[in-house]
Chain A
Amino acid sequence: MMSFPYSVGLSSSPLMRLRPAALLTGSLLLASCGLQKDIDVALPNYPAQLVVESYLENNRLPRVSVTESVPYLSAPDAELPKGVKVILTMPNGRRDTLAYAPAVNPNTNKGYTHTGRTRITARPGDTFRLEVYDTQGRRVTASATMPATVPLDNVEYKFNDLSGAQRKAYVLASFRDPAATVDFYRYQVHKRSVATDPEVEYTVEDRLSNGQPLSLGTSYQFSPNDTIFVTMYHLDRPYFQFLQSVDDARNANGNPFAQPSAIRSTVEGGIGIFTILNYQRQRIILK
């Protein structure tokens, strides 16, 4: 069985984020404190674009967040775009206009602007379409197909031989990668609640391990009695590339060695992500 303590998609690996160049640059910068200063930067005009975020799930209300991108140095409190209409087309061709009802989900702290009234049914292979219009004539469209289900065969943990506060466990999730398709996975381990920042997160692609058993793991980092949630998302390529480009774009700001990366949106006419989630999740209490 093959296993990845961290991602083969190195750019998203937590270890590879400790890039040696960045480490050394950091050391040099530390060594030469006082070498930073605020400067005035005149940026060219940047026309705002609609930004769409929507993650549909089977048996959940469809929710979409529509915001706007803004000039980078503008004030942080931007207003929501007005007069936006969102239409979701179901696999059977039914078109639902989602209601404009901006709110924050108190359970997840996630904001959304549009919501459906009925829960959707999504099966692997189902294709949904999204259309977003606004009164300025901007139009964003997207299409997404739910990835196949890849079942988790096993989730296990193992403690080291130490005692007291040093006693820690790692967690391994095992599954078999489908041989017929090019697959991408997102692995997350949360403590206590999935609404918090994950303790471990990385993405993996199967280009070096197609059709083989895989284990995605962590280091020895969890304590006895921790309640953890292990989630393995099966992603399609557009969603994987979007996540990667977001990561690259964020890393490029402040890293002189990084090449700035454009966002690879899954939507057309704007920026954003529209995808159908298919994931496996297990809750474990470490004993």
Chain B
Amino acid sequence: MPQRLFYLLLGLLLLALPSTVVAQVKLTLSGYVRATGTNEALPGATIAVPALGLGATTDDQGFYTLLLPTGPQEVTVSFIGYQPQTQTIALTRNQRLSFSLQADNNTLGEVVIEGSGTLKEKLQTTQMSVERLTSREAKLLPALFGEVDLLKTLQLKPGVQNGGEGTSGLFVRGGSADQNLFLVDDAVVYNPSHLFGLFSVFNPDAVQSVDLYKGGFPSQYGGRLSSVVDIKMRPGNSEKFTTSGGLGLISSRLTLEGPLPNRKGSWLVSGRRTYFDVFTRQVNKLNEDKEDWNPIPDYYFYDLNAKANYQLGAKDNVFLTGYLGHDVFGFNSTNGFNFDFSWGNAVASARWNHVFNKRLYVNTSASFTRYDYRISNALDQFSFDLSSEIRDFSLRTDFDYALNDRHAVKFGAAFTDHHFGTGRLKAGAEDNSFNFGSDINYRGQEAGVYASDNFRASDKLQLEYGLRVSGFQSGSDQFGGLEPRAAVRYSLTPKISLKANYALMYQYVHLVSNSGASLPTDIWYPSRLSVKPQRSQQVATGVSFLLGDGTYLLTNELYYKWAQRQIDFRDGAQLFVNPDLDSEFLFGRGWAYGNELYLEKKTGRTTGWIGYTLAWTKRRFPPQNGTTGINNGNTFYPNYDRRHNLTVVVLHQLTHRINLTSSFVFTSGQATTLPLGRFVFQDIFGANPSAVPVYPQRNTYRLAPYNRLDLGLVYKLRPIREGGESDLIFSVYNAYNRRNPYFVYFDQIKDKETARVLSYRARQVSLFPVIPSVTYNFKF
């Protein structure tokens, strides 16, 4: 069936593509946009000819192609954080023209003033529901413990919620945390967080840009329902060897980069490591003689990124990317109990970029990704190991073809071989008196082909339509589906655009988690047997206004998303090492709708944005498999449902050396479940009766609203040596020290002498008070 579906679709696609080319003589202007000084490619830069209303953006290699009529043209090039350039050219033949953009400021890149063309480009593109962020932008904002976090910066954008205080998980337009596709240079990252979600794995020093798609997904993306987070790593300085880094409150960073021989490419190696464990080990050492001293567990995480690119010839480039990151947690008690817990991702990808001609180029990549965790316990002579992993090998190829000045076509295919090690258990005794093990593995193959066309029907009307055909196979179980995608933009006036989009998505792999949060022990599971693929559809409409001579962009987007076969788990589900995991799933439906209002200012000494989201997210899991479903089959709000979400981000360049930054967040209270009743449980013997909570409903209680102000100051230091740069970043997280709710629990008040329970009370726990921090960054 999926095969037949594929051929049918391919036929339909070919029919849908324009069969006649508009007979018009055009010349090609193409080239690269790079950064002055480092020669780094700038993907996502805008090249526009405002007089003609034509424009293009650079691809991953910073390459662009524009089809223009002959004659003199004024070309404008812009990119976030760089000074825009305007150049007049006389186009008499196909021409190669590359641009080198100067960064706005020669500090460590912490000053962002976007090119003036950017908001206009945003107004004109068909793509809506997308947020672009550069590492330079994220580094400006105040951060928890001074640890710059790209995902937390994305949480400040409308339509994106966090999963709780300080966590880096993304909940996009009512989607759950496992419905986000994280890509690093085209390779999937399965668990993007450290320390149970408090920090993301993306080292900002190694990242160039992040694109977050909330809807209107381009056809080349598939496999997750709610968002695509496309992360591009920095290629490295191809002009000279550079060292940069930083010392922070909890971690240090070091990045080395430089050109390859003959200046045919560049390389970059970047590392980050926390040092809680250095201090806790010293504390343990000082107290090791105390009898009642319980050692503090060791904990650290690290990230290691590497990238290299090499120009094979005029038309060929290769890119190699690697990432390795782990969290390591260890606990060794004096009574013989040892507990080691480590988890992390390993990612590698190789990409070959080939330019056939000025209108057609292709990217072909092979990637490997693995996420695994291992828990090792030892108690006296017994040992116990539990581990799990997901391992993928992927191949993909993506063609970009500028058919003419009206049609830009993309097509390609992707294939992934998944290996799911859902549970490996090994228990044994030192004396080999017994050994026991269990290993549960599944395989799955996922494939997708797609084609799309960006069609400029007129100066006012632009369409992007495409189709993706996806399929998944696990053993003898096969699934497949059509994923139509469409987007339209109509320019009502040069300063007002109306937009709309639609996307259907399938998700064939599922995160097995009933924690309500993203934990390292969550495992991925293939669609198989009764676990059918998740599916969602989303429509969104929007209107954008360019205000104040292009200084401000006001955007309003309205979305509605509906999803089938959403997953959850029955109460008491056994998720570890369960060969019959299928029977623990529950399936339901989901709905999300809302309105996102977004005002941005990206030029001048004061920049920033205001975002307000009004949203609803609902789910319903009816009675099934001998259960009463969830919430007795009634519709409920998942805990990441927030009615109101307001963010205000302001950045102000006070002087040449000082930048002030701030961000403010207000969100409605998190939906949570509290026990409504309790009963006394005596057990077989009544030695210790206990109060057992009764939870008849799901998420009916709302925590208090959340609000927080963060402040930051970036101070550029005078250079100690020529060519060197350094700065200090002061951050204050939760500046007015609000006790935001993290969770609420019920407690007993007991008589101190008799231990008799006197009454019950509700307690609210907060996680972070005001936290000041300072980070020192350097570059030479």
Contact = CB atoms under 8 A, between A and B. Distances in A.
B676 A21 contact: no
A24 B676 contact: no
Nearest to A248: B572
B685 A194 contact: yes
B692 A246 contact: yes
Contacts of B293: none
Interface in A1-47: 1-6, 8-11, 15, 18, 20-21, 23-25, 27-29, 32, 34-41, 43-44, 46
A277 B384 contact: no
Nearest to A243: B683
A164 interface: no
B759 A76 contact: yes
Contacts of A160: 380
B676 A260 contact: no
Contact of B516 (A11, A74, A254, A259): A259
A263 B337 CA distance: 32
Contacts of B386: 10
Nearest to A73: B760
B429 A41 contact: no
B23 interface: no
A64 B56 CA distance: 78
Interface in A223-259: 241, 244-246, 248-250, 252-254, 256-259
A234 to B, nearest CB: 14
B695 A41 contact: no
A2 B436 contact: yes
B131 to A, nearest CB: 28
A72 B742 contact: no
A251 B341 CA distance: 21
A70 B434 contact: no
A138 interface: no
B687 A197 contact: yes
A257 B639 CA distance: 12
B599 interface: no
A171 interface: no
A5 B574 contact: no
A3 B433 contact: yes
B685 A35 contact: no
Interface string B223-238: 0000000000000000
B22 interface: no
Interface in A35-75: 35-41, 43-44, 46, 48-49, 51, 53, 55, 65, 67-75
B621 to A, nearest CB: 13
B424 to A, nearest CB: 12
B764 A257 contact: no
A24 B434 contact: no
Contact of B571 (A5, A69, A70, A245): A245
B434 A2 contact: yes
Interface in A183-206: 194-197, 205
A70 B744 CA distance: 19
Contacts of A257: 196, 515-517, 519
A180 interface: no
B701 A41 contact: yes
A99 B747 CA distance: 36
Contacts of A41: 674, 701, 744, 762
B50 interface: no
B769 A32 contact: yes
Contact of A75 (B434, B674, B759): B759
B382 A44 contact: no
Contacts of A39: 704, 744, 762-764
Given A249-B695, A261-B695, A48 B296 contact: no
Contacts of A27: 296-297
B492 interface: no
B762 A109 contact: no
A249 B765 contact: no
A219 B336 contact: yes
Given A3-B429, A3-B434, A271 B577 contact: no
Given A23-B297, A35-B765, A76-B759, A69 B681 contact: no
Contacts of B694: 46, 49, 69, 72, 249, 262-263, 271
A65 to B, nearest CB: 6
Interface in B357-409: 375, 377, 379-382, 384, 386
B76 interface: no
B676 A71 contact: yes
Nearest to A205: B574
Classify chain A: how many residues form its interface, as a range: 35 or more
Given A29-B765, A72-B677, A259-B515, A252 B695 contact: yes
Contacts of B681: 53, 246
B578 interface: yes
Contacts of B569: 259
Interface string B93-124: 00000000000000000000000000000000
Contacts of B767: 28-29, 32, 35
Given A8-B577, A260-B698, A43 B760 contact: no
A253 B746 contact: yes
A261 B692 CA distance: 11
B60 to A, nearest CB: 37
A147 interface: no
Nearest to A110: B686
Interface in B18-71: none
Interface stretch (A86-94, A118-126, A127-135, A207-215): A207-215
A32 B768 contact: yes
B164 interface: yes
Contact of B517 (A40, A197, A256, A262): A256
Interface centre among B580, B682, B694 (most CB of A within 10 A): B694
Contacts of B436: 2-4, 208-209
Contacts of B676: 43-44, 46, 71-72
A105 interface: yes
A8 B375 CA distance: 14
A247 to B, nearest CB: 9
Contacts of A252: 673, 693, 695
B769 A35 contact: yes
A34 B690 CA distance: 27
Contact of A9 (B196, B336, B574): B574
A252 B695 CA distance: 10
A55 B681 CA distance: 13
B742 A256 contact: yes
B338 to A, nearest CB: 11
Interface string B735-760: 00001001111111000000001111
B693 A249 contact: yes
B766 interface: yes
A217 interface: yes
A99 to B, nearest CB: 19
Contacts of A197: 687-688
Given A72-B677, A110-B682, A257-B516, A219 B339 contact: no
B673 A260 contact: yes
B683 to A, nearest CB: 8
25 contacts: A1-B434, A2-B434, A3-B436, A4-B436, A9-B574, A10-B386, A15-B337, A15-B384, A20-B520, A23-B331, A24-B297, A32-B766, A38-B763, A72-B746, A111-B682, A111-B689, A248-B572, A253-B693, A256-B164, A257-B515, A257-B519, A258-B516, A260-B698, A262-B694, A262-B695
Interface of A: 1-6, 8-11, 15, 18, 20-21, 23-25, 27-29, 32, 34-41, 43-44, 46, 48-49, 51, 53, 55, 65, 67-76, 104-105, 108-111, 160, 170, 194-197, 205, 207-209, 215, 217, 219-220, 241, 244-246, 248-250, 252-254, 256-264, 271, 277
Given A197-B688, A256-B743, A264-B571, 7 more contacts: A15-B377, A29-B765, A32-B768, A41-B674, A70-B679, A241-B572, A254-B743
The 10 closest A-B pairs by CB, nearest first: A110-B686, A5-B382, A254-B745, A256-B743, A69-B679, A260-B695, A46-B676, A41-B762, A3-B434, A35-B766
